[in-house]
Chains A and B, each alone.
Chain A
Amino acid sequence: MSVADQAPRFTSPVEQRMWSERIPVPWWIFGLILLLLPVVANNFWLFQIMGWTFILGMIGLSLMFLAGYGGMVSLLQMSIAGMAGYMVAILGPSGAANVSLGLSWWIVIPAAFLIAALFATICGALAVRTDGIYTIMITLAIAAAFFYFTRQNYSIFNGYSGFNLVLPPKLFGVNWRAPVPFYYLTLACAVLCYGAVVYLARAPFGLALQGVRDNPRRMAALGFNVTAHRVAAYALTSVFASAGGILLVWQNAQIAPGTIGVSSAIDVLVVAVVGGIRRPLGPFIGAFIYVLLQVFSTDILGFFGFAADRFKLIIGIGFLAIVLFSPDGVLGLWDRWRAGVAARKAAATGGGA
């Protein structure tokens, strides 16, 4: 794995253009489509499909940052998202009035981010001393422990039933859970998180993290505290995971242990790997595919005469195919297809000349 992945290098001042000119045309079109989607799409697509895609994409993005730039494959990201989601339910108003504190949103949301960051830092500090498969094992263990804890603890996490009626605050008089506002809310959060990751990849912290991934011993010999850098990466990615987790609670209007179960933790990994774990766009592509499969697999499976609850079978087969044929995920397939087209074009013009 190399740091080169399409990251821009230092450019001399002469080469610096307006930021708007540096964004290629396809991105503008893509952005315009996303902005105007509510004109054509129905509420189900906006709220269920796209909303969920952005949320899952953000949680996947937090894993992409850790794994793609830091080389740390963590199964904790859903737990971190869940911690933030739970905090919103516990500190703010919910249907479980005997447990929830009912504080106002401007305390609840920052507190949720902070507590999730603290949780991520502590778990990160445990996980970063291990490598490869052991990181996966220890983060899986923490994720499972947190799942069982929320299920058995009633005084804080309200046990098996969790919290229902957890609604977003009616800021500016808007019902943020209505499909169109919720679509724009999740879109805005996803774009912010995506932009932050792209930007951070070239900031000293992000560069150093990629250095730590490629050559930790040399990084230490350059004065970097490799362990501290890795733990800081966990803390930083908790921001993206928390944003996703809070939106997820608002979308479902509830959170329960099932939200943060081991299978959800693994789904985040699947989403990031299927889309492409080396680039910030990957998790969003993976999330879109995952959501489409999950929502429409009933129809697909029914068509082939399987039971509808076998949708994980389709996802599993898709995951296997991607991992076998394209370790870079869907984005890797796309790159190779574009390279193939360019090569054929070059061959064609070369032959004509």
Chain B
Amino acid sequence: MNAPVVSSRINMPGAGNASSGNALELRGITKMFGALAAISDVTLSVKPGERRAVLGSNGAGKTTLFNCITGDFLPTAGLVRFFGEDVTVFPPHERIRRGLRRTYQISSLFTGLSVMDNVYLACCGVSRNRFSLVRPRPDDALVHAAEILVAAVHLTDDKDRLVGELAYGQQRQLEVALALSGAPRFVLFDEPAAGLSPTERADLVTILTSLPAHIGFIIIEHDMDVALRVADSVTMMHNGRIFKEGRSDEIESDPEVQELYLGGGHAQH
């Protein structure tokens, strides 16, 4: 697969000043909803190019953690560093322009637009073309970038169809394409395999494992088969706290994890 990466016309401030050497660093992140702590005191660091799976039962705080990283929610306490830069209070779009991307657990697409338009918008969002009043020409660099991305997720044959008409699996693939627009440095995948057929899962694993090596990601995934095949390391979450961290093979064979997640009554899938 071609690397679905376009480097032209991208703002990338803060590149290369990774003082801590981590792509993503969370320190003591706590998010309260009223009196309820959705996540408490989460400290986590991921190196550039590292692929991390976050496991945990429903309600463990995984998606809340993502929302704190992307800025959809501001954490009640704690610090978020992205490639060494403190982005804790940055609005979402500022983080995205620095190379952070995410997908949504429930597809969040523009259903009234065509596949191509969806991906084209995603490419515009991280370019200086955002406010352009001039329609793109067919040989426009961003249109070309969008075409490459559409091909990367095997949607070329459907590129002119409305997203609302696509099959569920195709919409999930489009979610992934939107997150790979521009020049991503770090991606948060929120259950990208949920609801996919076994063939589509295999496809997804191929897409994830063949991402360029410098792109790190965190993946929330209930399907252990997918999670352990694409990730080098695993963070287990339980009741809003980090419960265990380690290499994928260690976690897989850890008796406590077996009890809590794989074999125990908490397993969801």
Task: Tell me whether B131 and A222 are in contact (CB under 8 A).
Answer: no
Pick from A1, A10, A16, A215: contact of B117, CB below 8 A.
Answer: A10
Q: Is A2 an interface residue (CB 8 A)?
A: yes
Describe A's contact surface by its main secondary structure: helix
Residues of A within 8 Å of B97, CB to CB, are 223
Closest to B164 in A: A2
Fill in one digit per residue for A194-227: 1 if any B CB lies within 8 Å of its CB, else 0. 0000011011110110110011011111111110
- A224 in contact with B93 given A204-B124, A207-B120, A217-B108 (CB within 8 Å): yes
Task: Tell me whether B162 and A223 are in contact (CB under 8 A).
Answer: no
A281 to B248, CA, bound (A): 59
Task: Tell me whether A214 and B112 are in contact (CB under 8 A).
Answer: yes
Residues of A within 8 Å of B93, CB to CB, are 220-226
For A9, A229, A232, the residue with the greatest tally of chain B CB atoms inside 10 Å of its CB is: A9
CB distance from B54 to the nearest CB of A (A): 18
Q: Which of B73-103 contact A (CB under 8 A)?
A: 91-93, 96-97, 101-102
Pick from A3, A208, A221: contact of B112, CB below 8 A.
Answer: A3
A226 to B94, CA, bound (A): 11
Task: Tell me whether B135 and A199 are in contact (CB under 8 A).
Answer: yes
CB distance from B151 to the nearest CB of A (A): 15
Q: Is B168 an interface residue (CB 8 A)?
A: no
Residues of A within 8 Å of B124, CB to CB, are 204, 207-208, 224
Q: Which of A217-275 contact B (CB under 8 A)?
A: 217-226, 229, 232, 236
A229 to B129, CA, bound (A): 12
Task: Tell me whether A204 and B132 are in contact (CB under 8 A).
Answer: yes
Task: Tell me whether B113 and A204 are in contact (CB under 8 A).
Answer: no
Task: Tell me whether B130 and A215 are in contact (CB under 8 A).
Answer: no
A1 to B110, CA, bound (A): 11
Residues of A within 8 Å of B116, CB to CB, are 9-10
Pick from B92, B110, B131: contact of A211, CB below 8 A.
Answer: B110
A2 to B163, CA, bound (A): 11
Q: Is B143 an interface residue (CB 8 A)?
A: yes
Residues of A within 8 Å of B181, CB to CB, are 222
A141 to B133, CA, bound (A): 31
A316 to B238, CA, bound (A): 60
Closest to B188 in A: A221
Pick from A203, A211, A222: contact of B132, CB below 8 A.
Answer: A203
Q: Which of A1-47 contact B (CB under 8 A)?
A: 1-4, 9-13, 16
Residues of B within 8 Å of A219, CB to CB, are 121, 125
Q: Which of B105-137 contact A (CB under 8 A)?
A: 108-114, 116-117, 120-122, 124-126, 129-136
Q: Is B218 an interface residue (CB 8 A)?
A: no
- A205 in contact with B133 given A3-B110, A211-B110, A223-B96 (CB within 8 Å): yes
Q: Is B40 an interface residue (CB 8 A)?
A: no
A77 to B269, CA, bound (A): 54
A2 to B129, CA, bound (A): 23
Pick from B72, B113, B160: contact of A217, CB below 8 A.
Answer: B72
Task: Tell me whether B136 and A204 are in contact (CB under 8 A).
Answer: yes
Residues of A within 8 Å of B126, CB to CB, are 222-223
Residues of B within 8 Å of A10, CB to CB, are 114, 116-117, 120, 136, 138, 143, 160
CB distance from B60 to the nearest CB of A (A): 22
Closest to A201 in B: B135
A9 to B138, CA, bound (A): 12
A205 to B136, CA, bound (A): 11
Closest to B11 in A: A223
Task: Tell me whether B112 and A4 are in contact (CB under 8 A).
Answer: yes
A211 to B123, CA, bound (A): 13
Pick from A9, A16, A220: contact of B92, CB below 8 A.
Answer: A220
Task: Tell me whether B96 and A221 are in contact (CB under 8 A).
Answer: yes
A217 to B110, CA, bound (A): 11
Task: Tell me whether A232 and B109 are in contact (CB under 8 A).
Answer: no
Q: Is B55 an interface residue (CB 8 A)?
A: no
- A204 in contact with B72 given A9-B160, A224-B93 (CB within 8 Å): no
Pick from B91, B110, B125, B138: contact of A214, CB below 8 A.
Answer: B110
Q: Which of A291-333 contact B (CB under 8 A)?
A: none
Closest to A232 in B: B131
Task: Tell me whether A2 and B112 are in contact (CB under 8 A).
Answer: yes
Task: Tell me whether B117 and A9 are in contact (CB under 8 A).
Answer: yes
Task: Tell me whether B104 and A218 are in contact (CB under 8 A).
Answer: yes
A226 to B101, CA, bound (A): 17
Closest to A199 in B: B135
CB distance from A108 to the nearest CB of B (A): 25
Task: Tell me whether B110 and A218 are in contact (CB under 8 A).
Answer: yes
For B72, B124, B162, the residue with the greatest tally of chain A CB atoms inside 10 Å of its CB is: B124
Kindly list 14 other residue pairs between chains A and B, CB separation below 8 angstroms, not including A204-B134, A222-B122: A10-B138, A204-B120, A204-B132, A205-B131, A207-B120, A208-B125, A214-B111, A214-B112, A215-B109, A222-B126, A223-B182, A225-B91, A226-B93, A229-B130
Give 5 nearest A-B pairs by CB, closest first: A2-B112, A222-B125, A223-B125, A223-B96, A3-B112
Q: Give 23 pairs: A residue, B residue, CB < 8 Å, sorted on A.
A: A2-B112, A3-B110, A3-B112, A3-B113, A10-B116, A11-B138, A16-B138, A204-B120, A204-B121, A204-B131, A204-B133, A205-B130, A205-B131, A211-B121, A214-B110, A215-B109, A221-B101, A221-B108, A222-B125, A223-B182, A224-B93, A224-B130, A229-B130
